[in-house]
Amino acid sequence: MSCPVLSVAEMRQWEAATWASGQSEQTVIARVGELVARRCLALTRSGDTILLLAGIGHNGDDVRMAERHLSDRRIERLDVAEPAAQSATLSAALFRKPALIVDGLFGIGLNRPLAADWRSFIEEVNGSRIPILAVDAPSGLNCDTGEPEGAAIRADLTLTLGAPKEGLLRPGAWQYVGRLEVESEIGLVKCPVTSQVLWTLPGDFTKFPPRRFAASHKGSYGHVWIVAGSLGFHGAAVLSARGAAAAMPGLITLVTSPDVYTPIASQLRSVMVRPWNEQLEMPEKATAILVGPGLAASSVPEGVRNRFLDLWHSAPVPMVADASALDWLRDARSSLRKDRFITPHPGEAARLLDTEVATVQSNRAGAVRQLSSRLGGAFVVLKGHQTMMGREGGPLYLNGSGGPRLAQGGSGDVLAGYLAGMLAQPQLASEGELAARFAVWRHGLAGESPDWNGLIDELPRALTAI
């Protein structure tokens, strides 16, 4: 199940409930040590040197416990109580260029400015440019505010324990946290705290998507209709169609500008491609609609835009609005249908809300709520680092899969197509929110592949559950 995003005080409450149940701190520390070691092994190779930086608290105990599980790595451990006295030892260890540094200096409870010797120690670690794994939180970062207490470790990966802490998710903290991964099963009792913001875990999709039955055919898996592509932006139409195909709906029809019909049709095989007309007739058996990728506003006939707005309010099937179609919704009356999905990046969200990108990024949860409210309760996929999803009410979901490999033109077009391709399938559309969360998670997972050559090539490989 998704885990709640917690404040430091709420995390302490959870820990206290665990100790009151009879579970010992040492048992949890032992479990955490195993999990930290497992991540160290995944990040290094046999014979590599790992530098362990262990503080005097339980964060340091976690790191010390990990050491016993790293027998085929060369381990240098520095127990740091007085950073000034150990500065020379640190410099020597960094000079030997370990393959990985594990940061266990401070835990999540730090809430006061660091002394100068600690700031110098941390800055020397950062200056080494050696990959850093932070345990629970980057040392020096305030886990409520997301701000450094004078200095903070700049981790490549933060393995946070139990649940994400609020401060780790703030945009100002991203440069210190790096990639955030959550180890939720560390031996704590069931969390006694609830939250409106939840972190997506792979286990959320254990039974989703449902299995396909042998006695099925293309008609069993729906027909997605895509309106995309214009002069200068035909690639977006191709990518969205190929993204839809990766979701494996039964049929795909792509309607596009007559100006780019030929280059689009020549790059697609199983997709039916047609030039549009002002009537924009929807296929009779279409089960989901995507509008927007690559539609330059200046080249789209007014009749096409008006037809999209009519469909947004009246079409009896799920719809996804992306890219230019989002701008067409700015002044439209709200649809009250719950099977409407929008996929803005922060810039598009800011335009829809008549505000600045910085304002959206400073309160992504609030932006999702406002966007959904303005569009009659539509499900919002606010893209970007740790994509946030949700509606005007109910839980908000954060996605941690993906990374900087997705930071290229076309990634969003693929996601929009992939989502529409899933919503076109009746057995998936009945759980539309879960389908959207799954699409975002799988899309991110495809971008993580170490032999990544292109999102489109990896996405079908990631879709092993269907």
The DSSP result for 419-465, as a single string, is HHHHHTSHHHHTTHHHHHHHHHHHHHHHTT-TT-S-HHHHHHHH---
* pLDDT of the residue at 1: 72
Between CA 70 and CA 228 the distance in angstroms is: 52
Q: What is the distance between the terminal CA atoms of the chain, rounded to a whole angstrom?
A: 20
Domains and CATH numbers, the chain: 3-191 (3.40.50.10260), 218-462 (3.40.1190.20)
464 confidence band (pLDDT: 50, 70, 90): very low
In the chain, the percentage of residues whose pLDDT exceeds 70 is 96
pLDDT per residue as tens digits for the range 203-214: 999 989 988 888
pLDDT per residue as tens digits for the range 33-63: 999 999 999 999 999 999 999 999 999 999 9
Kindly report the average pLDDT of the chain as a whole number.
93
460 confidence band (pLDDT: 50, 70, 90): low
* pLDDT at residue 130 is higher than 70: yes
Total length of the chain = 466
Q: Which of 164-168, 385-389, 458-462 has the lowest mean pLDDT?
A: 458-462
Query: What pairing do the DSSP bridges indicate for beta strands 340-342 and 319-321?
Result: parallel
280 confidence band (pLDDT: 50, 70, 90): confident
Element of type H or E holding 190: none
* pLDDT of the residue at 459: 62
pLDDT per residue as tens digits for the range 255-274: 999 999 999 999 999 999 99
Contact between 371 and 342 under an 8 Å Cβ cutoff? The reply is yes
* pLDDT of the residue at 455: 63
* pLDDT of the residue at 465: 40
* pLDDT of the residue at 403: 84
Between CA 46 and CA 254 the distance in angstroms is: 50
Sequence-distant (6+) residues with CB within 8 A of 163 are: 3, 4, 5, 6, 11, 14, 182, 184, 191, 199
Compute the average pLDDT of residues 190-213: 92
91 confidence band (pLDDT: 50, 70, 90): very high
pLDDT per residue as tens digits for the range 332-357: 777 788 999 999 999 999 999 999 99
Decide: pTM greater than 0.85: yes
Closest CA to 312 of 278, 335, 292: 335
451 confidence band (pLDDT: 50, 70, 90): low
* pLDDT of the residue at 284: 84
**Coil, strand or helix at 186:** coil
* pLDDT of the residue at 335: 77
* pLDDT of the residue at 42: 96
Closest CA to 170 of 141, 136, 133, 139: 141
* pLDDT at residue 450 is higher than 70: no
275 confidence band (pLDDT: 50, 70, 90): very high
* pLDDT of the residue at 211: 87
* pLDDT at residue 463 is higher than 80: no
* pLDDT at residue 119 is higher than 50: yes
Taking the alpha carbons of 78, 79, 82, 85 in that order, is the dihedral positive or negative? negative
* pLDDT at residue 201 is higher than 60: yes
* pLDDT at residue 193 is higher than 50: yes
Cβ atoms within 10 A of the Cβ of 464, count? 7
299 confidence band (pLDDT: 50, 70, 90): confident
pLDDT per residue as tens digits for the range 239-256: 999 999 999 999 999 999
* pLDDT at residue 448 is higher than 90: no
315 confidence band (pLDDT: 50, 70, 90): very high
* pLDDT of the residue at 160: 98
- Residue labelled with tokens 């020379």: 88
Compute the average pLDDT of residues 412-421: 96
Query: What pairing do the DSSP bridges indicate for beta strands 272-275 and 379-382?
Result: unpaired
